[in-house]
């Protein structure tokens, strides 16, 4: 969900911002490090209900370092469900870590990675997006093609047509290769 929000925000950037820089900013926004910083700034750990897993009662250790980032991601997902993508983007812009790093006026989390591929591989994105879509919209699976999906897959010129054939049981059918490919899909997915 955070990926969809970050991509939607990246699409709002000026056209002059090159695609690799947009991809780096998206990767930085969805990293566990940045989500963890946002959770820490909001003191989200204080609201996580935990039970000690060890006899020593160490809940912080049992909770793990990634749990606050996961909770922050869940809150952003709840914002999408409650108010839509625009509401989630508005929430994301208000987060304490959503400040500028390079002075150009665009929000970039501090400590953003230098290489988007270090945080986000194309295969992981396709798998995650496909799993989410198939979980929430089973009618879009290879076994149950909807008329809308078939229409979307056959639109465009001959070089960009995607057909329903060759869609195996796996999630490789999801047509995302770059962040710029995702923007037209977001309204359909949500």
What's the pLDDT score for residue 160? 39
7-11 long-range Cβ contacts below 8 angstroms, 24+ apart: 7/179, 7/182, 7/183, 7/186, 8/85, 8/89, 8/183, 8/186, 9/89, 9/92, 9/93, 9/107, 10/179, 11/179, 11/180, 11/183
Domain co-membership, 37 together with 62: yes
In this prediction the pTM is 0.46
Q: Please indicate, yes or no, whether residues 22 and 109 belong to a single structural domain of this protein.
A: yes
- Are 78 and 2 contained in the same domain? yes
Q: How distant, in Å, are the alpha carbons of 7, 55, 76, 102, 152 from that of 184? A: 11, 51, 21, 29, 11
Using the 3D structure, point to which of 114, 147, 162 is the last residue of a domain.
Answer: 114
pLDDT in tens for each of the 190 residues of the chain?
A: 777 777 777 777 667 777 777 777 777 777 888 888 788 888 888 877 655 555 555 555 556 667 888 888 888 888 888 888 778 777 777 776 554 443 333 344 444 444 444 444 444 555 565 666 667 766 556 555 445 445 555 554 333 334 433 333 333 333 433 344 444 443 333 3
pLDDT at 14: 63
User: Is residue 43 located within the same domain as residue 125?
Assistant: no
Please state, as a whole number, how many other Cβ atoms lie within 10 Å of the Cβ of residue 73: 20
- Indicate if 54 and 21 belong to the same structural domain: yes
Whether residue 137 is found in the same domain as residue 108: no
Same domain, 64 and 135: no
Structural domain of 2? 1-114
């Amino acid at each position: 969900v955070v990926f969809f929000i970050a991509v939607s925000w990246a699409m709002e950037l000026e056209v002059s911002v090159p695609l690799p820089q947009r991809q780096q900013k998206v990767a930085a926004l969805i990293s566990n490090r940045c989500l963890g910083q946002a959770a820490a700034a909001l003191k989200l750990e204080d609201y996580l209900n935990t039970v000690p897993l060890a006899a020593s009662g160490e809940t912080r250790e049992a909770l793990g370092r990634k749990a606050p980032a996961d909770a922050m991601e869940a809150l952003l997902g709840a914002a999408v469900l409650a108010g839509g993508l625009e509401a989630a983007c508005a929430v994301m812009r208000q987060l304490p870590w959503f400040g500028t790093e390079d002075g150009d006026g665009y929000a970039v989390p501090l400590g953003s990675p230098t290489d988007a591929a270090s945080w986000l591989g194309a295969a992981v994105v396709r798998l995650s997006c496909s799993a989410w879509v198939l979980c929430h919209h089973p009618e879009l699976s290879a076994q149950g093609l909807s008329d809308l999906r078939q229409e979307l897959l056959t639109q465009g010129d001959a070089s960009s047509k995607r057909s329903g054939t060759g869609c195996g049981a796996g999630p490789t059918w999801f047509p995302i290769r770059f962040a710029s490919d995702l923007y037209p899909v977001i309204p359909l997915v949500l």
